[in-house]
Chain A
Amino acid sequence: MTREEAQALFSDYLEDALDSRQRDEMQAFLAREPECAAEMFALERTLSLLHRLPPREPALEIWRELLPRVEKFKAECKLSWLERLQIRGEEFRAQVSGGVILWTHALSECAHTRLSRYVQHDLRLHSKTDGGGEEIC
């Protein structure tokens, strides 16, 4: 077993997902490669910390913020399918408009960057051809 092969099996070894032959081979390898064993021990300690880390819990009340949207959805459910379709259509249009605005913004930024690069390049060319003696306004 090479070092790379052993490293590739670290996770499976720690999760006890290796068959007995592979496990024995790994144990023999770790016994004769203390550097690799230390690496695996560090991974084991890291994963053990992660596994025991308590989950992040929200400090703010999310439900209070969500409730009006749930109520609105409930009211929407009472509408006819045509009215609901209209609402969905409007939402879709709003999303498309948002996307188009973002895309246009991106395009204008790209154009602006290219233009400023071109102008700088042009200025440099001018200063070279003029021998650098003339001041360019």
Chain B
Amino acid sequence: MPTDRRSLWPAPLSNLPRLDPDVALVRQFRATASPAVFEILFRKYQTPIFNLVHRMVNGEEAYDLTQEVFYRALRSLVSFQGDCKFRTWLYTIARNVCLNYLREKKVRAGLEGSSLDAEDGQPGFVLEPADPQADVPKIVEVRELQRVVDRVLAAMPPEQRLLITLRDLDGLSYEEIAEITENSLVNVRSKLHRARQAFKNKFQPYLDHVDPSLDLRAGGMGK
């Protein structure tokens, strides 16, 4: 009597629910508490998290805050249930760390009596507009463009800065952004659109100065 051999074989790998490799690392870390395992996660997400933090705070503090994000993640790994992506969870921590830092900075700036030049942007920050008529040198290096983008972002409210960084610089999906910012998809879309318009208006004077032959694949820039 012929037997159905297919039932004896395990299901093909493609049919099995795929385990997020990050979740596997989290489990391994929970079991062993090995710094080497955590280092793998750190190395994987170091650049995107630093990128987000740097765009949000725009300064040397980005190093300390990135370290703080990973330390908080380390301490909260026990409570990570795996019901969302590890990446989204980590970005949520980064968002909270950055917004708390900016809030504290604003309070401190208020106490020290510094003027709040930008209504909602970073205290004391004034964006010098580029004069399209003036003989402004062309932006021929990625480093210069990075600096201009950072300055424009710094003149924007933190929430808009966060949305632009997550979507247009880090390339996250709308679903991920909605989860990180605790907003509905519709809200994220409309807020991001407003943020883009605001960014474009502030960036417009610089746009014509960007050298069309600028090679943007020339690698990331440190400080």
Q: Name A's B-contacting residues (CB within 8 A).
A: 7-8, 10-12, 42-43, 45-47, 49-60, 62-63, 65-67, 69-71, 73-74, 77, 102, 105-106, 109
How far, in angstroms, from A94 to B202 measured CA to CA in the complex? 42
Query: In the complex the two chains form, what is the Cα distance from A8 to B190 in whole Å?
Result: 8
By the criterion CB–CB under 8 Å, are A63 and B42 in contact? Answer: yes
Q: Once bound together, how far apart are the Cα atoms of A4 and B7, in whole Å?
A: 61
| Contact residues in A for B6 (Cβ distance below 8 Å) | none
Tell me which residues across on chain B come within 8 A of A69, comparing CB atoms. Answer: 67, 71, 74
Which residue of A12, A49, A58, A74 has the most chain B CB atoms within 10 A of its CB atom? Answer: A58
Q: Which of B34, B46, B149, B221 contacts A62 (CB 8 A)?
A: B46
Are B169 and A11 touching (Cβ within 8 A)? no
- Picked from A12, A56, A66, the residue with its CB within 8 Å of the CB of B51 is A56
Interface string of B29-58 (1 = CB under 8 A from A): 000011100110011001110110011000
**A50–B164 touching, CB < 8 Å:** yes
Q: Indicate if the CB atoms of A57 and B39 lie closer than 8 Å.
A: no
B35 touches A106 (CB 8 A): no
The stretch of B14-22, B116-124, B203-211 that contacts the partner chain: B203-211
Q: Quick one: which of A10, A51, A63, A105 contacts B168, CB cutoff 8 A?
A: A51
Question: Which B residues lie within 8 Å of A74 (CB)?
Answer: 33-35
Chain B residues with Cβ below 8 Å from A12 are 189, 193
Whether A46 pairs with B55 at a CB distance below 8 angstroms is: no
Question: CB-CB < 8 A to B46: which residues of A?
Answer: 58, 62-63
A54 pairs with B221, CB closer than 8 A: yes
Knowing A52-B216, A53-B216, A55-B169 touch, does A65 contact B67 (C-beta < 8 A)? yes
B194, chain A: closest CB distance, angstroms: 9
**Is the beta-carbon distance between A54 and B111 smaller than 8 angstroms?**
no
9 pairs from A and B in contact (CB 8 Å cutoff)? A50-B149, A50-B169, A51-B171, A53-B169, A54-B220, A57-B51, A65-B63, A73-B75, A74-B33
Against A, the Cβ 8 Å flags (1 = close, 0 = not) of B186-223 are 00010011001101100110010010000011111111
Contacts of A71 in B (CB 8 A): 35
> Are A67 and B149 in touch, CB under 8 angstroms?
no
Q: What are the residues of chain A within 8 A of B145 when measuring CB–CB?
A: 49, 53
In the bound assembly, the distance between CA atoms of A57 and B149 in angstroms comes to: 15
Q: Does B170 contact A (CB under 8 A)?
A: yes
- Contact of A56 (CB < 8 Å), options: B38, B146, B164: B146
Give bound CA distance, A50 to B216, whole Å.
Answer: 10
Q: How far is the CB of B65 from chain A (nearest CB, A)?
A: 10
Q: Does B90 reach chain A (CB closer than 8 Å)? A: no
The answer on a CB contact under 8 Å between A57 and B164 is no
